[in-house]
Amino acid sequence: MNTLYHPPDALSLLSSQTGTVTGELLPQAVPQPEERTWIDLASTDRFTLGAAQERYGLPPEAMTYFLLHYQTAKLIHASPALFLVTFLAIPSLRHLFTTRELKICVTPTHVVTLCGPAGRAPPEQARSVSLLPGRDAGGVGRFLCDLLRGVVGSYETIVKTVEDRRFNDTQREERQRWHRRVEKFIRFLRDQRVFLSNVAREGRKLFAAAESQQLLHLEEQVGVLARVTWDTTRPKKDEQGAVESVLSEKRDGDA
């Protein structure tokens, strides 16, 4: 059964009671607790962070990381916690996508989140991204998997846009600009894949074996998305054949 609490000021707390996570655990892993607390921060002022740290007994070192700004995805050890920085992808008509920073602190019994501003994305597009995991989610490992699955889902939206929006009949300059945006997105996906691999490897003390496998599956999924996106920048088979034919005729004429 899940119970919704209303903590004071800027803190938003969701506490859930779940059964013990089943499945074989890795040697380094510890069993998931029956009670998991989610604290969703509304801001990162020192008063809010201090209140959360004191009320829920969170590691002070990990809480200070919420004050920093990050350019890339990161995984930081702050024993007994892991601090994660990842990014959602928000659709953008002008830039293809923009990013929204998501900071996550995970302890054996708590998950603390902070979702940053939507950057250059219109407010209605930013609001369309839902990160709320199911209320029946189990311990911290399963909760984190659900959270990151929502993040990867935002990447799928951008890939669908890339697949649907081809510029074969447009001017060369416009195609080049589009390809640069797509290549930037591919680099972003590759960085996120490395991040997910690190989370799966370094989080074994907090996650059950099945949850580590889910994280590895998400890593593979992001790799597939990167390959699919890359394929859209390659000419289609019939287009490639036409190009090769033109080049062949040119070589014969030069001869």
pLDDT of residue 196: 96
pLDDT of residue 170 exceeding 60, the answer is: yes
99 φ/ψ angles, rounded to the nearest 5 degrees = -115, 155
Query: Residue 78 — very low, low, confident or very high, per pLDDT cuts 50/70/90?
Result: confident
Cα separation, 13 vs 94, whole angstroms: 36
Length of the chain: 255
Distance CA 137, CA 127 (A): 22
DSSP 62: H
Residue 2 has pLDDT above 50, yes or no: no
pTM of the model: 0.74
Domain residue ranges in the chain: 2-254
Q: Which residue has the tokens 């995984």?
A: 75
pLDDT digits (tens, 9 = 90+) for 92-138: 988 999 999 999 999 999 999 998 876 555 444 444 444 555 555 57
pLDDT of res. 139: 85
pLDDT digits (tens, 9 = 90+) for 39-75: 988 888 888 899 999 999 999 999 999 999 899 999 9
Query: What is the structure's pLDDT at 1?
Result: 27
Interval 11-47: pLDDT, tens? 333 333 333 222 232 223 333 445 678 998 888 888 8
Instruction: Flag whether pLDDT at 244 surpasses 90.
Output: no
**Alpha-carbon distance 83 to 237, whole Å?**
45
Share of the chain above pLDDT 70, in %: 68
Question: What phi and psi values does residue 63 have, to the nearest 5 degrees?
Answer: -65, -30
Comparing 143 with 165, the larger pLDDT belongs to 143
What does the alpha-carbon distance between residue 166 and residue 103 come to, in Å, rounded to a whole number? 34
CB 148 within 8 A of CB 73: no
Kindly list the distances between the CA atom of residue 201 and the CA atoms of 15, 137, 176, 225, in Å, as whole numbers in the listed order: 27, 22, 38, 21
3-state secondary structure 79-100: CCEEEEEEEEEEEECCCEEEEE
The residues, any chain, with a CB within 8 Å of residue 209's CB and separated by 6 or more, are: 23, 24, 25, 26, 29
* Residue 160 pLDDT: 93
